[in-house]
Structure 1
Amino acid sequence: MAQEQARSPEEIREEYGLNERSITDRLRENWAGYVFILPTFLAFTALFYYPIARGVSMTFTDTQLGEPGQFVGLANYQWLLTNDLFVYAFGWTIVFVAGTTFLQLALGLLAALLLNEMKDALKDWMGAVIMSPYFSAPLAGGVIWMWFLDNDFGFVSKLFAIVGVDTPSFLATGFWPFVSLIVAQTWHDYAYSAIIYAAALSSIPKEQYEAAAQSGANRLQRFRDVTVPRLLIPTIVILALRTAWNIAEFDQPFALTGGGPGTRTMLLSILTYRVAFVNNNFARAYTIGMAMVLLSMTAALIYVKAIDQEEDLYV
């Protein structure tokens, strides 16, 4: 027994055929797989990793459109933290993302519950109607909402005029431009939540609802005890994806308000566009983009931690 304990780890691995293989051995054994994956790896590096690395390095320069940049250290980040418009856009972006994300969750869940209660024939038609906004172009959606809400020629303005009511300036004054952006973005993307929720609801065994009903649970109790637990992880997944996409949302808000009136509805995505293509300052624009990435990563870390805690409940 003492002799067995005195053996080195290398001797034990050799006895049981567990010798570690070198990288050269692995390449020799799996060379065909590496050959097939190499083009994808190179393309992904050229189109994803290199632009990211190039952009990060650009934030330490004063690069402008068509001009080589000089190293300026942390000057762009200092500008970022002391720029009032960026601070305002950062705060409004958080409000915009929170409002649209949670409204998309709520409407998506209601749509999925509605579809789940319908018969198959009607479900197909209603599903197409409910999901149609998500498959429309965001830029077209922004134009439609602008036509819908504009005070001069909008449909809502004409409808209010018929009944003799003054039309609020949905895109110009007060808090209405903020509400308009959140409502328009919610309308366009709530179907994404509905698709995931509908899939989650269809995977719940009917026997669980029948067992709950036989034990005396009403519809609300069955929803709380059977449905809600099965929707927790899909909810976190939707939150993570929709938060990241709403932070980067540009087309529809730009078409609807363009960050206006003035800069009242300026989102980080619109500010990035203006700094890059109006002011021609690509270095500062990418610095704003880094702030957007940091915001997305912070939200993602929170959601991943939530998923880990949720999975621990089932261990």
Structure 2
Amino acid sequence: MSQETTQNIRQKYGLEETTLMDRVRENWIGYLFIVPTFVMFTILFYYPIVRGVYLTFTNTRLGQAGSFVGLENYSWLLTNDLFHFAFGWTLAFVFGTTLLQLVIGLIAALLLSELRSRWRDWTSAIIMSPYFSAPLAGGVIWMWFLNSDFGMLPMILSDFLGVQAPAFLADGIWPYVSLIVAQSWHDYGYAGIIYAAAIVGIPREQYEAAALAGAGRLRRFRDVTLPHLVTPTIIILALRTAWNVAEFAQPFELTGGGPGTRTMLMSILTYETAYVNLQFSRAYTLGMAMILVSMTAAIFYVTVIKDEEELYV
């Protein structure tokens, strides 16, 4: 087919090639509305990120202009024992918290799907209420629940059951368990909301067909429900992993990284480095490590999504 004929066909169906300037002139009003948003994102988001990356190569402190020190902050990071501990504990915290949030959120969504509509709204509001509370408020609630001096749980164990209650926020493995349980309680509602939406969208005909084939409740869950929850699960994992890496308010309220440094998360270590030790450049370097963890998890989850793209939601 000749070039002229091809060009005529493109003109006939409105497929003429347009340049960038042609598109700008045609849609200039839309671009005009986008400009303020782009400017604000640049000032409040992109510039701080670039500035933060630059500060990791300096020795900047609060109120003091730093000088260029190369990779000194990264060398400090890799040789700092407290960072090594905080990094490992953060990974364990993120894994345990994210897994519990998935399990509890799925159970909550399945429970809601079995209720009648008149009970579903009130029950969902009660089940999902922790997620809509402020993390700091959640920390106060768990402090009053677990504290050895005035907490409700130690009081119940000692006064009513005659059992010596452990120091949930200070003794042995209990501080780690307490932080994971408390954070899972606060954020499982996010997984529950997404799972509930996915379950509602499953065609009822598939359940009916499975029931007619003799499948019991457990098998219907395995063969019908679970395949529809693969992609939502990956999405929840990606988002909750990133957020759990950065969790600060509730763990800080409960233990503050203590006793001593036994529950020091990377987020708390970053805060103390910046606002206690006033070493902003090292705090930014810690932030880069947190971003690296979140990005690594995100890349892994995106890869898994691509492998599962033929599954339906």
Place the TM-score, normalised by the shorter chain, in its bin.
over 0.9
Counterpart in the other structure of 1:60: 57
Counterpart in the other structure of 1:133: 130
How far residue 54 of structure 1 moved from its aligned partner, in angstroms, is: 0.6
How far residue 157 of structure 1 moved from its aligned partner, in angstroms, is: 1.4
Give yes or no for contact 2:90–2:266 (8 Å, CA) kept in 1.
Answer: yes
2:85 to 85, 88, 97: 88
Query: Are 1:149 and 2:146 matched, yes or no?
Result: yes
Counterpart in the other structure of 2:37: 40
Deviation string for 1:83-135 (max 9, x for gaps)? 00001100000000000000000000000000100111111221111011111
Give yes or no for contact 1:134–1:190 (8 Å, CA) kept in 2.
Answer: yes
The DSSP-based 3-state class of the residue aligned with 1:311 is: coil
In the superposition, relative to structure 1, how do residues 76 and 123 fare at CA in structure 2: closer, same or farther (>3 Å)?
Answer: same
Greater mean alpha carbon deviation, residues 16-25 or residues 195-204: 16-25
In the superposition, relative to structure 1, how do residues 12 and 260 fare at CA in structure 2: closer, same or farther (>3 Å)?
Answer: farther
Counterpart in the other structure of 1:168: 166
In the superposition, relative to structure 1, how do residues 34 and 151 fare at CA in structure 2: closer, same or farther (>3 Å)?
Answer: same
Counterpart in the other structure of 1:109: 106
Code of the residue aligned with 1:77 in structure 2: it is: Y
Give yes or no for contact 2:106–2:191 (8 Å, CA) kept in 1.
Answer: yes
The DSSP-based 3-state class of the residue aligned with 1:287 is: helix
1:132-281 residue pairs with structure 2 within 5 A? Answer: 132-162=129-159, 163-281=161-279
Deviation string for 1:182-232 (max 9, x for gaps)? 000000000111100000000011111111101111111111111000000
The DSSP-based 3-state class of the residue aligned with 1:242 is: helix
Extract unaligned runs of 5+ from structure 2: none
| Pairs aligned (count) | 307
Deviation string for 1:53-102 (max 9, x for gaps)? 11011101111111111000110001000000001100000000000000
In the superposition, relative to structure 1, how do residues 13 and 25 fare at CA in structure 2: closer, same or farther (>3 Å)?
Answer: farther
> Within 1, Cα distance between the matches of 2:311 and 2:192?
26
Give yes or no for contact 2:228–2:311 (8 Å, CA) kept in 1.
Answer: no
Give yes or no for contact 1:276–1:285 (8 Å, CA) kept in 2.
Answer: yes
How far residue 250 of structure 1 moved from its aligned partner, in angstroms, is: 0.3
State the TM-score, normalizing by the size of structure 2: 0.95
Code of the residue aligned with 1:199 in structure 2: it is: A
Counterpart in the other structure of 1:294: 292
Deviation string for 1:241-299 (max 9, x for gaps)? 10000000000000000000000000000000000000001100010000000000000
Greater mean alpha carbon deviation, residues 280-289 or residues 25-34: 25-34
The DSSP-based 3-state class of the residue aligned with 2:309 is: helix
> Within 1, Cα distance between the matches of 2:294 and 2:182?
21
Give yes or no for contact 1:13–1:19 (8 Å, CA) kept in 2.
Answer: no
State the TM-score, normalizing by the size of structure 1: 0.94
Code of the residue aligned with 2:20 in structure 1: it is: I
The DSSP-based 3-state class of the residue aligned with 2:99 is: helix
The DSSP-based 3-state class of the residue aligned with 2:229 is: helix
Give yes or no for contact 1:142–1:255 (8 Å, CA) kept in 2.
Answer: yes
Counterpart in the other structure of 2:95: 98
Deviation string for 1:123-152 (max 9, x for gaps)? 122111101111111001111111111111
How far residue 33 of structure 1 moved from its aligned partner, in angstroms, is: 1.2
> Within 2, Cα distance between the matches of 1:127 and 1:207?
25
Give yes or no for contact 2:227–2:311 (8 Å, CA) kept in 1.
Answer: no
The DSSP-based 3-state class of the residue aligned with 1:291 is: helix
Extract unaligned runs of 5+ from structure 1: none
